């Protein structure tokens, strides 16, 4: 019967369109997101003004963490110019979404708040965007950096510290959304700023039906490169 044939075609058509839509979503990735990697660490640090800084204080803000020490030679393996670039570009990428750079010293015995403050001025850290801090107890710092940020560092007898530059992007819910530890084809600083833009899009669309598209992007692993 003719009507029956149309019903069958309708069913095939429906599933055909559905499958095509899913494939198209996965292939063309109209929506890209950053992965939700893991919970960001909990901590209490002391900042360049001697005030406590906890991960709770940073809730609701997008935070880029990185690591250094004030006696680090030159531009500290590129950490400082990278953060200067991010500090300058972040407002354009994020709009009015609150943002902080938190630069953690791996040398708490030497890096007092005064030294951190002097260093902040030297590298042009703007106090409302870029905070320098450390954990005064070396053992607790080691735990935070090791089991919180999964990073290894190795203090040397001469006072220098061996470590590979690393950047960790954490969203306002305290979830790690990006880790930058290896050089890729695009430079790290450009990649971080691009990712800030991707994250901002998701935060702006975290309400209502647009949220579904972003959840689908998470489900289909449509991650921004």
Applying CB under 8 A, the residues found at the interface with another protein are 2-3, 5-7, 9-11, 13-14, 18, 35-44, 52, 54-56, 139-140, 143-144, 147-148, 173-175, 211-212, 215-216, 218-219
77 vs 219, beta carbon nearer another protein: 219
Shorter beta-carbon distance to another protein: residue 187 or 206: 206
CB of 140 to another protein, least distance (A): 6
- With respect to another protein, which residue has the nearer C-beta, 148 or 165? 148
Nearest to 133 by CA among 40, 42, 44: 44
Give min distance, CB of 200 to another protein, in A.
18
| Nearest CB to another protein, comparing residues 43 and 180 | 43
Nearer to another protein, 55 or 82 (CB): 55
When computed from its CA atoms, the radius of gyration of the chain, rounded to whole angstroms, is 22
d(CA 85, CA 183): 16
């Amino acid at each position: 019967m003719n009507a029956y044939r149309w019903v069958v075609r309708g069913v095939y058509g429906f599933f055909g369109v559905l499958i095509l839509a899913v494939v198209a979503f996965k292939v063309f990735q109209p929506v890209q997101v950053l992965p939700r990697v893991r919970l960001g660490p909990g901590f209490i640090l002391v900042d360049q003004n001697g005030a406590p800084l906890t991960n709770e204080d940073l809730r609701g803000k997008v935070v880029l963490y990185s690591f250094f020490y004030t006696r680090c030679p030159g531009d500290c393996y590129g950490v400082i110019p990278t953060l200067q670039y991010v500090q300058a570009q972040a407002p354009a990428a994020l709009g009015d979404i609150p943002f902080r750079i938190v630069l953690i010293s791996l040398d708490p015995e030497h890096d007092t708040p005064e030294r951190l403050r002097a260093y902040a001025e030297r590298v042009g850290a703007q106090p409302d965007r870029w905070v320098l801090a450390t954990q005064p107890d070396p053992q607790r710092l080691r735990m935070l950096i090791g089991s919180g940020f999964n990073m290894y560092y190795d203090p040397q007898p001469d006072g220098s510290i061996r470590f590979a530059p690393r950047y960790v992007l954490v969203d306002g819910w305290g979830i790690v959304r990006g880790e930058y530890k290896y050089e890729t084809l695009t430079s790290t600083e450009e990649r971080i700023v691009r990712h800030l833009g991707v994250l901002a899009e998701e935060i702006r669309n975290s309400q209502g039906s647009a949220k579904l598209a972003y959840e689908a992007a998470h489900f289909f692993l449509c991650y921004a490169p």
